[in-house]
Amino acid sequence: MIKFKDILIFINIYILILNAYCKEWCKATFEYGKSDYAECISEGDSISRYMIETIPILSKDVDLYSNVSLVLSNGYGSKTKEIIIGNENDGLLNKIFTVRSDIGNPEYIHIKLNSQNKNWKCKKITVWKDYKYWVFDCIGSLNDKKPESTYFLSGNKIYIAYVQTGKDIEAATTGTIEIILLGNNKRSNTKVLHEGFSAGGLKKIKFQASDVGELEDIILINNSLNDPWYCDFVKIKSDNNNKIYIFNVKSWIGAPYDKNVKVNIKSDTIEGTSKDIDCHIRAIDLINTNNINKLLQNKVQIFKVRCPQNCHNSEFAIIEGSSIHPSSTSICAAAIHDGSISPSGGEIIVTVASELNHYYTIKEKIFNELEALDFSAKADEKNFTFFTYHLDSIDDIISNVRIVDSFGKLSSLGRLEIRLKNKNSWGTVCVKGPNFEFNDDAAKRACKDLGFPNGIHIKENCANLNGQNYCAGYKYPFASSGILCTGHEKDISKCNADDFSHCVDHHDDVIIQCLHYSSNELINDGAIRLVDINGAPSNNGIGRLQIYYHGVFGSVCSEGWVKEAENIVCHELGYNGLKGNGFSHHSCTDISGENLCGPDTEKINAVNIKCKGDEKLLRNCPHETHDDIYCSHDEDVIVGCVGGDNNSHGEEQNKKHLINLEKKKFHPKIELTCFDKMLSKSNLSVATTGDVFLASCPEKCDEEVGIVKGTFLYTYDSPICKSAIHSGVLPNNIAEDIVLSIAHTHNNFIGTKRNNIESHDFKGTSKSFTISIPTMSLLREERKSNPKSEDEMINKNEIDLTYDHSVFNNKLDHHITSSMKPTFQWIAPTGFVGFNGKENDYIDCTNLPNEKYIRSLSNFTFIVYFTLNGGEGTWRTILSHSLCEGISISINEDNELIIEQNCNPHLLKSKFKPKFGQTYHISLVFNKINKTLYLYINGKKVITEKNTYNFTLSGDLIIGRSNQTTKDYFIGNIHLVEIYKYTLSEQEIKESLNSSLSLEYLNMNILEQMSNTKKDKKKNQKNKKGVQKTIDGRDCVTPCKSKNMINKDLQINTQQINLKCQDNLLSEQFNGKIGSQFLVSCIENCTKSKYFIKGTNNYYTPDSSICKAAIHAGIYKPNMGNKNNTFVIRIVEGLLEYKSSRGHFGILSKSEKQSQLRSFSVLSENEENIFTCSTDGQFILNLSVGEKRTINCPSNCNIIKDKIYGTNIYSPTSVLCKAAIHSGALSNQGGLVEIIVGTGQEEFKGSTQNNVESFSSNNHSRSITFNKHMEL
């Protein structure tokens, strides 16, 4: 029985706790996007209080008694300290309260398992802070192999997906398909789309995910083993609009293809996954021909496809022309004919150009056993030109031996292929010739040539091995027959073999499997494994169980076997559990139509295995093992397992046996002059058909002398760079990289006039070449193969022209990896005092080493490592290159990082506000091909923006000041500036971040700067003694006090002001001091009104139209009824000048050079929890029943005319503060009151209470009640 005395003690303790956590609030300095009032930091405090609720997974495979911790972080890298949410003694702490640093809105949870031999998993984690909460999905398990993970925000937006699977019977999958949505700088969690897809089916799927805004990309994931899925397209529609996002996937997904495929909504992207096409697909089948020739009048376009194997044998493929083709030609067959790929298939780049009148074949007509036809275009048919170059294939390896699986991928299990002599093609090996037959030693020798210690010859027919066809296709080449090795040869070419002419068809192709362990590798007694019908390790989790005793693996007799033993086997092998109900109760004679019983020659090693179920290893169960086990192989135990990362024979085994062969190195990039021809470069003149080279052209080669012969296909004596300009690959005023592909020897070349260059016809015989645009992957491959190729641009003699960069010289190689050499680099010299905003406080890079090489860059990466120390309220430029159409990186008046094309009113806002005294690494990447700008902050991508313009870097580089004006000086330290003449990958950006952090001189400068910052802080503290701060870092402008008092200082009108388009801040009704706020409503649609607005970044001049400014800022959206036509305007400090910008609904604001005493900003009505007297309860419709919110009401809300409905239980259409007074939960003086969301009501009855009248109303789906706020 609980005593009254105990209750009193409990209440006293509770009051003490409340007093200990008493909060005070103050009015804070204005910062856009934050409320006027914020919680004060207690003395010595800079923290927030969190509640973390973890919902567990309850499963026998999950051990909740584990040491588990997490760290919360926001989108800009700010993190809390570690928070313990579980331990081995108490288990999971479902709900904990903790005090940690305030990171704003948490976006990620970094979670870590700190216990060994444990498996931990949760359903979701909810983080509460103040009046807000965030829900995170728990994805995947934590274990010894993966002890850490990152969880992302969940979502509740409804999406509908329409998923089309390919029509080929092999396109189906039984795998679980997952999807990730990517939108405007946001991404959803991984969501399960569906379990399996049938061939040719169109499936409608409804799922929930977080709101990512405008969809830009999707990621599709197939985790199944050797069960890939061919997806034709995915269409996605959200629940709140009629827009449908179409993603043309056209790719195989899942092993042995890419497990994850990222698809961009733009079908012309070339940096994503290749489109998988059939052998007969023509170029015209993939390209929309509307206005095609107008689009290609002065340029070319490229896209990426992947061709399957055996396209040389496609009966429906047709080839018209050689080297260059009309759009009616089959792409893959043409690529084989032109030497871009072999019958093995692969990835190619297709270049699309304007149409020609004729397409000529080579004299021989046939190449690579494929015949081409001459073609003449018809005037009434839409047509265009295309040609190809090689990107990637399984041919690109150094080894002369390989193994190819049923999907045409390199593998450790599949058909054996050998490179044909004097050809860049491959052939299979048939089992038997007239003199020799393929043997086990030949399989071992082939595997050793590939780097494996062991291999076996699989004697099963290649047409049906584990349900898959490993045979090569009809007309695929043969390399040899009947290879016989003794075991002593140095490579397989030294073994005895018969000529390939003895091979009849590919049903006799040799199949081998390479193994990671040698035949004499030490194996402990009791070791287990699963094998398939051929005795090879199972790759699908189903197979005959073998146990190791007396030096050999042998089967297990099912006599005495219990089902618990099968579960132990699966976990011992690393799987999650049984497949279905398991397979040990099935007869081995018929497992999915296959006989998995062991052969008579296989030993039976164990019987009467009797497990209890709690054993970790099968060998720990009681069992018998001896030489005389009285069983037959019809009684062999079969086991079926699923899931997990098994250690022996599942996915991990496949990874262990994945073949990883060294690729051929790509040719070094060739630096060309305007006069260079194919004949003037030795490596080009001797190249063969299909070879691909990367080259670099200078600018303005159209002005040089030289005759161009041909169109898209050029003679060997044509100047290369001038031909590139003629074709439309290269602009005349930009230095750029190009791709050269060696074509056939031709007798006819067509002359045309393109891009102000006249090319000539030529009827003689000449070797030829085509020109195209390089992909980012090709540029990276060239840099990876030739890490020193960029050094040709660095003139080492130019270093130290202006500064004595002693540390620069010593540390340069330490900072830059061998494959990442910046075109330009500036490092703050030792003792550099930084940028202090003074007139001459900037760096003019005009005479610095290699600055001239920045000019004319098209694709580029800017990297800056900087610390911001001051200048709040002013525009500060970090760096600026060129004048109009150049680029600037700046910090604006609101302290936000801004990217701009000089002279362009459109600003790229990062939404990132660097903190004073903190050092940041930013990377700005521009891809000219798709006109996309990427911004990374501390290695994390925060912005992806598709532009309609290119940057023109034709001027000079200024660090620390604007290039356009003699102002906008930076205040702080810029430690490092690097500029690359190509786009860096995300991994390379992370390398740059890590190397920047590791620089000794940089650390020294940062330490020195931090020391100075501390001194400055001490000075500021002396000057600002007694000034309190809020938990979001702002200064208090009023004393801290209990929150129920703050309403007395809130200057906002109790009734809204109705505005027309002509109304501005100059009206008498807006007289008020800085910080005053007014609730207003627009009664007109001012989108196209004649009244102007001036300003940007939510700072507008007093004579600007208020309603039009609200539309420009996105606060007010017209034509939405009464949903959002009310908002708050705030009077703020005036500016020295106002800039122009393009805002919502295409509204362009004007600039203003005249300084003003006052400006205004516009904000949402329901900012934070501070309400006006006219705010109604419609917002609770987005809340759950039972959910509570504390709101803050102004005084005198009892006198307004707005109506309320109900008595004690109110309709959401009521104005809240007046209803709270009517209920008795709030006085006329206003203050804090608690609202509770209730269920729907059939009727709301009116009454008069507390001198306030309410009215009756009909039913509503929600209701509201009020409680008095408990004072702390």
Q: Would you state the pLDDT for residue 20?
A: 38
pLDDT of residue 130: 72
Distance of CA 36 to the CA centre of its chain: 36
**pLDDT on residue 820:** 63
| pLDDT tens-place string over residues 1098-1149 | 789 999 999 999 988 888 888 765 556 788 888 877 787 888 888 888 888 9
Q: Tell me which residue has tokens 């992302």.
A: 152
What is the residue-averaged pLDDT of the chain? 82
Torsion angle of the four alpha carbons 295, 297, 302, 308, in this order, in degrees rounded to the nearest 10: 90
Distances (CA, A) of 660 to 450, 493, 539, 558, 656: 9, 21, 18, 39, 10
Dihedral of CA atoms 1245, 1250, 1252, 1255 in degrees, nearest 10, equals: 0
- What is the secondary structure of 359-399 as a DSSP string? EPPPTT-EETTEE-B-EE--TTS---EEEEEEEE-TT-BS-
The CA distance from 65 to 1238, in Å, is: 38
- Nearest one of 489, 379, 399, 387 to 441, comparing CA atoms: 489
Indicate if 840 and 957 belong to the same structural domain.
Answer: yes
Identify the residue whose tokens are 């018929």. Answer: 590
Same domain, residue pair 536 and 680: no
Q: Mean pLDDT lowest for which of 297-311, 474-488, 809-823?
A: 809-823
Answer whether residue 195 shows pLDDT above 50.
Answer: yes
Range of the domain at 1212: 1178-1268
Q: What is the C-alpha to C-alpha distance for residues 133 and 139, in angstroms, rounded to an integer?
A: 19
Distance CA 158, CA 518 (A): 54
Residue 917 lies in a domain: yes
Do the domain assignments include residue 341?
Answer: no
Q: Are residues 857 and 996 in the same domain?
A: yes
> Is position 320 within any domain?
no
Tokens of 494: 């030294």
Residues 87-92: what's their mean pLDDT? Answer: 86
And the tokens for 158? 């409804």
Task: For residue 852, report the phi and psi dihedrals to the nearest 5 degrees.
Answer: -65, -25
* Mean of pLDDT values over 1090-1097: 88
- What are the tokens at 539? 């790759």
Q: Which residues contact 1252 (CB under 8 A, 6 or more apart)?
A: 1198, 1204, 1218, 1221, 1222
765: left (phi over 0), alpha (psi -120 to 50) or beta: beta
Say yes or no: 895 and 861 in one domain: yes
With b for 16 or more beta-carbon neighbours within 10 A and e for fewer, the 272-295 pattern comes to ebbbbbbbbbbbbebbeeeebeee
- pLDDT, tens digit, 9 for 90 and up, residues 246-297: 898 888 998 878 888 888 887 656 666 788 899 999 999 888 777 787 888 8
Q: Which residue, 1244, 1235, 1238, 1241, is CA-closest to 1267?
A: 1235
Structural tokens at position 1045: 């008092």
pLDDT for 131 equals: 64
CATH of the domain at 637: 3.10.250.10
- Residue at 394 is within a domain: no
d(CA 882, CA 901): 10
Secondary structure of the chain: what % helix, strand, coil (to 5)?
15, 35, 50
Task: Using pLDDT thresholds of 50, 70 and 90, give the confidence band for residue 194.
Answer: confident
Pair 856, 990 in one domain: yes
**Beta-carbon count within 10 A of 144 CB:** 11
| Burial class (CB within 10 angstroms; exposed 0-12, middle 13-18, buried 19+) of 1055 | middle
Closest C-alpha to 1233, from 1207, 1260, 1195, 1204: 1195
Residue 734, domain member (yes or no): yes
In a domain, 128, yes or no: yes
CATH at 58 = 2.60.60.20
Count how many domains the chain has.
Answer: 8
The rounded percent of the chain whose pLDDT value lies above 90 is: 32
Contacts of 2 (CB under 8 A, 6+ apart): none
- pLDDT value, residue 519: 60
pLDDT value of position 63: 85
Q: Does one domain contain both 1140 and 1209? A: no
Per-residue pLDDT band for 525 (boundaries 50, 70, 90) equals confident
Burial, 134: exposed, middle or buried (Cβ in 10 Å; 0-12, 13-18, 19+)?
middle
Residue pair 521/573 in contact (Cβ under 8 Å)? The answer is no
Question: pLDDT tens across 710-732, in order?
Answer: 999 999 999 999 999 999 999 88
Q: What is the pLDDT of residue 434?
A: 92
Q: Is the pLDDT of residue 328 over 90?
A: yes
Q: Strand 108-113 and strand 148-152: pairing? A: antiparallel
Q: Residue 772 pLDDT more than 80?
A: yes
pLDDT of residue 830: 67
- Say how far apart CA 118 and CA 63 lie, in whole Å: 6
State yes or no: pLDDT of 12 exceeds 60: no
Q: Does one domain contain both 875 and 999?
A: yes
Find the mean pLDDT for residues 677-706.
Answer: 90
Q: In whole angstroms, what is the distance from residue 658 CA to residue 410 CA? A: 8
For residue 1220, give the CATH number of its domain. 2.170.130.20
Q: How many whole angstroms from its chain centre is CA 305? A: 21
pLDDT, greater one: 591 or 429:
429
At which of 129, 152, 175 does a domain end?
152
Asked whether residue 109 is assigned to any structural domain, the reply reads yes
Based on the domain organization, do 823 and 932 belong to the same domain? yes
| 1151 and 1252 assigned to the same domain | no
Q: pLDDT tens digits, residue range 1200-1249?
A: 888 999 999 999 889 999 999 999 999 888 878 889 999 888 899 999 99
pLDDT at 950: 79
Average pLDDT over residues 367-376: 91
Q: Which band of pLDDT confidence, cut at 50, 70 and 90, is reported for residue 877?
A: very high
> What secondary structure does DSSP assign to 471-540, as a single string?
SPPTT--EEEEEEE--S--SSGGGSEEE-GGG---GGGB-EEEEESS-TT----TT-EEEE-TTSSBPSS
Query: pLDDT at position 731, please?
Result: 86
Highest mean pLDDT among 361-365, 1069-1073, 1194-1198: 361-365
Q: Contact, 177 vs 219, CB < 8 A?
A: no
Q: Which has more pLDDT, 1 or 289? A: 289
Between strands 736-746 and 766-772, the pairing is antiparallel
Q: Is the pLDDT of residue 580 over 80?
A: no
User: Is the pLDDT reported for residue 559 higher than 50?
Assistant: yes
Using the predicted structure, report yes or no on whether residue 1268 has a pLDDT greater than 60.
yes
In this prediction, residue 16 carries a pLDDT of: 42
Q: Which amino acid is at 366?
A: I
Question: Given a cut of 60, is residue 793 above it in pLDDT?
Answer: no
Q: Please tell me the predicted confidence (pLDDT) of residue 801.
A: 25
Asked if residues 878 and 889 have their Cβ atoms less than 8 Å apart, the reply is yes
User: Are 1260 and 1198 found together in one domain?
Assistant: yes
* H-helix segments, 670-801: 682-685, 720-727, 776-785
- What is the model's pLDDT at position 964? 65
Of 419, 439, 417, which is closest to residue 483 (Cα–Cα)? 439
d(Cα 1234, Cα 873) in Å, to the nearest integer?
A: 37
Examine the fold and report which residue of 97, 122, 152 is the final residue of a domain before the chain moves on: 152
1089 — phi, psi (to 5°)?
-70, 160
Q: In this predicted structure, what is the pLDDT of residue 21?
A: 42
CA 929 to chain centre: 19
Summarize pLDDT for 820-850 with one digit per residue, the tens: 678 888 888 766 778 888 877 888 888 787 8
Q: Which residues of 220-233 are buried (b: 16+ CB within 10 A; e: fewer)?
A: bbbebbbbbbbbbb
First to last CA, the chain: 30
* Phi, psi of 1019, rounded to the nearest 5 degrees: -65, -45
Q: Which amino acid is at 637?
A: V
Confidence band for 85, pLDDT divided at 50, 70 and 90: very high
State which of 242, 267, 292 marks the end of a domain: 267
d(CA 718, CA 762): 11
Residues 244 and 185 in one domain: yes
Beta strands in 913-993 (DSSP E): 919-927, 932-937, 940-946, 957-959, 971-980
Same domain assignment for residues 143 and 164: no
**Phi, psi (degrees; rounded to nearest 5) at 587:** -75, 140
Q: Are 5 and 1139 a contacting pair, CB within 8 Å?
A: no
Say yes or no to pLDDT of 352 above 90. yes
pLDDT at 755: 92
Asked, for residue 34, whether it belongs to a domain, the answer is no
Q: What is the percentage of the chain residues whose pLDDT exceeds 70?
A: 85
Question: How confident is the model over 1143-1191, as pLDDT tens digits?
Answer: 888 888 998 888 787 889 888 765 445 567 778 887 777 677 888 887 8
Confidence of residue 5 (pLDDT cuts 50, 70, 90): very low
Provide the CATH number for the domain around residue 907. 2.60.120.200
